[in-house]
A = this chain, B = another copy of it.
Amino acid sequence: MPTYNAPTKDTQFILHEVLNVSGSSVPGYDEMDADFTGAVLEEAGKIASEVLTPLNAVGDTEGCRLENGVVRTPTGFKDAFDQMKDGGWPGIDMPEEFGGQNMPYVLGTAVGEYFSAANQAFTMYQGLTHGAASAILAHGTEAQKATYLPKMVSCDWTGTMNLTEPHCGTDLGLMRTKAEPQSDGSYSITGQKIFISAGEHDMADNIIHLVLAKIPGGPEGIKGVSLFIVPKFLVNEDGSLGQRNGVSCGKIEEKMGIHGNSTCVMNYDGATGFLLGEEHKGMRAMFTMMNEARLGVAMQGLSQAEVAFQNALAYAKDRLQGRDVTGPKNPDGPADPLIVHPDIRRSLMDQKSFAEGARAFMLWGATMIDASHRADDQDAEGLISLLTPVLKGFLTDQGFDMAIKAQQVYGGHGYIEEWGMSQFARDARITQIYEGANGVQALDLVGRKLAQDGGKHVMAFFDLVKGFAKDNAEVDGMAEFLDPLKRGSKDLQAAAMYFMQEGMKNPNNALSGSYDFMHLFGHVCLGLMWAKMAKASLEALASGTGDPQFYETKLATARYYMARQLPMTATHLARIQSGAEPVMALDAANF
């Protein structure tokens, strides 16, 4: 049975020694000293290991069942959900006025990683609620906030996002769900939505569906889409639950993974809905939820890589098989542990250098969200807008690959469900697909974000890398980290330049390289993170504070990333610079 230990020491290192959060001027960050965040992280880690981890396999094996319209979640989920609520975890970064704890988003992200690593399918119930609550917070009327938020912040009620229909996922302009205006100002919602995570279940008193639909007579396509609040039970004026709304779960999908989460077909049959935000501006409101959800999914990618890595590492230390070619390491035993073998190390170092680098990237991104929300920092908002598709696409693609690598360490045992490694891979797989498949992230990055505000944000990123390299050029021991980072960054600039020049002639020259660009960008971001972590480690070693072994290990891992992962940037650039011709040459009929 897999185990999980929250990497609190690593999170603390990133928060305080790399990002220096408590030194930030962002409101609320001054309270985040190491003692405080340490206590929060320890507590979250404990719940993750003790409460959520044991339910992960249960969720996978039992799945959710639809019986007479009621969805039953796996054994133990409801109890665990109550424990999470009792601890106030769902509202950790929500406003106090609605019952939240008002802590920064970066801390919510840090603990979210632990919960998700321990049990991704379970954690989605509260993750989706958080997203829906954020949308109401941003776009709701005062009355709507008062009605829904206190219950959603506590997770007494949960939330969902309803976008996809059978014939449209990415292209929401094609949607058919209708919202007919009623005389009382509400709307009558009719249509079918699919792939609705946590669409129906038995862990909350009410479920607040946020539903995209078209008001008849509105503009064609995506410009005629509005967002509606559709509660499972209508809410009376006094806040009590009223009548059952015309929404029901028609089916639970059989999926490759995340069996513990109920993925529902939702039928809206003249359900009562309430407009959230403005008419026909539904996509704007939905994107409040989507952007947050994309960061949450990026974090899931990291989380599955981390938990899979932890278990692969334990197995590699434990399983005796073969001998170290340079001489036995366990001479009294029948064989040496797997970890002596270079190719097993390669795999483990790939996993380790990814997970730690991704954690830094993720938390760095979360500080930008805080700076944007709490300090109205436009630059931070612009940069995280640019980096969101990179985080989502790169961290989930790599997260899945790392879960596969971790599974591979187990050999045949990895393929057997009993050992749990298959579940990590199967659960991780969805992260590459939902909240915008990764190809759509790449399109968003290259087709929209790169040129946003005149390309200002990507220039800011390049300046940031250059500034870091320049500021540390003379620092002893940094050259071995800065040189590969600069090479990677140069490849990224060359790719951006290629898009600018050749994309003008034919947009397909840019779009054909979009996926490679997303990964090239991701590698440079992790390279930057590793250079920053190397710097913090060199400083700590020089000052003699802390555990020198921890910092030496960081330096060795940083070297690994530079030597073994960053060289990918050259291949991505070569592919990008080959342009649209090889990709688009064939007529569709000739494939």
Is A588 positioned at the interface, with any CB of B under 8 Å from its CB? yes
- Asked if A313 contacts B349 (CB within 8 A), the reply is no
Which residue of B345, B514, B583 is within 8 Å of A584 (Cβ)? Answer: B345
Task: List the B side residues contacting A501 at CB < 8 Å.
Answer: none
A215 to chain B, nearest CB (A): 19
Interface residue tally for chain A (C-beta within 8 Å): 96
Q: A508-B325, A582-B349, A585-B556 are in contact. Are A433 and B408 (CB under 8 A)?
A: yes
When chains A and B are docked, how far (Å) is the Cα of A348 from the Cα of B586? 11
A425 to chain B, nearest CB (A): 8
- Asked if B411 contacts A169 (CB within 8 A), the reply is yes
Within 8 A of B (CB), among A333-350: 334-335, 337, 339-349
Is A174 positioned at the interface, with any CB of B under 8 Å from its CB? yes
- Asked if B433 contacts A412 (CB within 8 A), the reply is yes
Is A216 positioned at the interface, with any CB of B under 8 Å from its CB? no
Is A559 positioned at the interface, with any CB of B under 8 Å from its CB? yes
Task: List the B side residues contacting A96 at CB < 8 Å.
Answer: none
* Extra inter-chain contacts (15) besides given A343-B442, A568-B571, CB under 8 Å: A170-B411, A171-B335, A325-B508, A326-B507, A345-B512, A345-B586, A346-B583, A347-B439, A408-B433, A408-B438, A412-B434, A559-B582, A564-B583, A567-B570, A570-B571
- Asked if B411 contacts A433 (CB within 8 A), the reply is yes
Within 8 A of B (CB), among A548-591: 549, 552-553, 556-557, 559-560, 562-564, 567-568, 570-571, 574-575, 578, 580-586, 588, 590-591
Task: List the B side residues contacting A515 at CB < 8 Å.
Answer: 343, 346
Is A432 positioned at the interface, with any CB of B under 8 Å from its CB? yes
Name which residue of chain B comes closest to A346, CB basis: B583
Task: List the B side residues contacting A563 at CB < 8 Å.
Answer: 575, 578, 582
Chain A positions within 8 Å of B, measured between CB atoms, are 164, 167-171, 173-174, 194-195, 253-257, 313, 317, 320-322, 325-326, 334-335, 337, 339-349, 352, 400, 404, 407-408, 411-412, 414-418, 422, 425-426, 429-430, 432-434, 437-439, 442-443, 447, 506-508, 511-512, 514-515, 549, 552-553, 556-557, 559-560, 562-564, 567-568, 570-571, 574-575, 578, 580-586, 588, 590-591
What are 18 pairs between A and B in contact, CB < 8 Å?
A173-B335, A174-B335, A194-B412, A254-B418, A257-B415, A325-B511, A342-B514, A344-B439, A345-B512, A349-B582, A352-B591, A408-B437, A411-B433, A415-B429, A415-B430, A562-B582, A564-B578, A567-B571
- Asked if B255 contacts A588 (CB within 8 A), the reply is no
- Asked if A508 contacts B575 (CB within 8 A), the reply is no
- Asked if B416 contacts A254 (CB within 8 A), the reply is yes
Name which residue of chain B comes closest to A335, CB basis: B171
A283 to chain B, nearest CB (A): 15
Task: List the B side residues contacting A432 at CB < 8 Å.
Answer: 408
When chains A and B are docked, how far (Å) is the Cα of A343 from the Cα of B348? 31
Which residue of B343, B508, B556, B575 is within 8 Å of A564 (Cβ)? Answer: B575
A329 to chain B, nearest CB (A): 8
- Asked if B570 contacts A582 (CB within 8 A), the reply is no
A160 to chain B, nearest CB (A): 15
When chains A and B are docked, how far (Å) is the Cα of A157 from the Cα of B346? 43
- Asked if A168 contacts B343 (CB within 8 A), the reply is no
When chains A and B are docked, how far (Å) is the Cα of A334 from the Cα of B391? 32
A126 to chain B, nearest CB (A): 21
Task: List the B side residues contacting A349 at CB < 8 Å.
Answer: 582-583, 586
- Asked if B317 contacts A556 (CB within 8 A), the reply is no
- Asked if B171 contacts A255 (CB within 8 A), the reply is no
Which residue of B168, B404, B511 is within 8 Å of A341 (Cβ)? Answer: B511
Task: List the B side residues contacting A344 at CB < 8 Å.
Answer: 439
Which residue of B322, B343, B422 is within 8 Å of A514 (Cβ)? Answer: B343
Task: List the B side residues contacting A430 at CB < 8 Å.
Answer: 415
Name which residue of chain B comes closest to A417, CB basis: B254
Task: List the B side residues contacting A583 at CB < 8 Å.
Answer: 342, 345-346, 349, 560, 564
Closest 3 CB pairs of A and B: A567-B574, A563-B578, A342-B511
Task: List the B side residues contacting A574 at CB < 8 Å.
Answer: 567, 570
When chains A and B are docked, how far (Å) is the Cα of A586 from the Cα of B345? 9
When chains A and B are docked, how far (Å) is the Cα of A374 from the Cα of B168? 56
A249 to chain B, nearest CB (A): 15
Which residue of B345, B512, B553, B586 is within 8 Å of A346 (Cβ)? Answer: B512
- Asked if B255 contacts A169 (CB within 8 A), the reply is no
- Asked if A256 contacts B426 (CB within 8 A), the reply is yes
When chains A and B are docked, how far (Å) is the Cα of A173 from the Cα of B322? 9
Task: List the B side residues contacting A581 at CB < 8 Å.
Answer: 559
When chains A and B are docked, how far (Å) is the Cα of A415 from the Cα of B255? 6
- Asked if B559 contacts A507 (CB within 8 A), the reply is no
Q: A418-B254, A582-B349 are in contact. Are A322 and B170 (CB under 8 A)?
A: yes
A276 to chain B, nearest CB (A): 23
Which residue of B412, B560, B582 is within 8 Å of A195 (Cβ)? Answer: B412
Q: A564-B582, A567-B574 are in contact. Are A507 and B325 (CB under 8 A)?
A: yes
- Asked if B585 contacts A560 (CB within 8 A), the reply is yes
When chains A and B are docked, how far (Å) is the Cα of A559 from the Cα of B586? 11
When chains A and B are docked, how far (Å) is the Cα of A262 from the Cα of B334? 31
Which residue of B168, B340, B343 is within 8 Å of A439 (Cβ)? Answer: B343
Which residue of B171, B195, B559 is within 8 Å of A585 (Cβ)? Answer: B559
